[in-house]
Structure 1
Amino acid sequence: MDEFSSVDVDKGFAIAFVVLLFLFLMVMIFRCAKLVKNPYKASFTTTEPSLS
């Protein structure tokens, strides 16, 4: 039972937070890379209403 009591709940939350933050960062990097690669196609739907 001593090995289970050494598990810290705060440490688990911190690890989960870091993992979710890392996943969010990967998604943002992917989206920004797609925007840099082809900015007109990626931002076409947002610029369309301002043209009219």
Structure 2
Amino acid sequence: TSSEFGTFYEKCPVLKEEDESLRLSRCLLVDLTGRVIQQGLELLGIQTCEQM
């Protein structure tokens, strides 16, 4: 999941996207991906940091 997310984030501008609707959709996708990764790690007993 994290490698696919890295590829997405590299190829698709999120904050610099000019189309507001697309930018908001990408921001939501970024947020949800982070939550899924965090919950998965917590289920495995791995502590996560607040931000990098």
Query: What TM-score do the two structures reach when normalised by structure 2?
Result: 0.51
Query: Hey, what does 1:28 align to over in structure 2?
Result: 39
What is the RMSD computed on CA atoms of the aligned residues?
Answer: 1.6
- Give me the identity figure in percent: 10
The higher-RCO structure (CA 8 Å, 6+ apart) is 2
Q: Larger Cα Rg: Structure 1 or Structure 2? A: 1
Unaligned runs of 5+ in 2: 1-17, 47-52
Query: What TM-score do the two structures reach when normalised by structure 1?
Result: 0.51
For this pair of structures, how many residues does the alignment match? 29
Tell me which protein shows more helix as a share of its residues: 1
Unaligned runs of 5+ in 1: 1-6, 36-52
| One-letter amino acid of the structure 1 residue matched with residue 21 of structure 2 | D
**Runs of 4+ in structure 1 over 2 Å off:** none
Provide, for residues 6-41 of structure 1, a one-character-per-residue CA deviation record: whole Å limited to 9, x for no partner: x21000000000000000001000000118xxxxxx
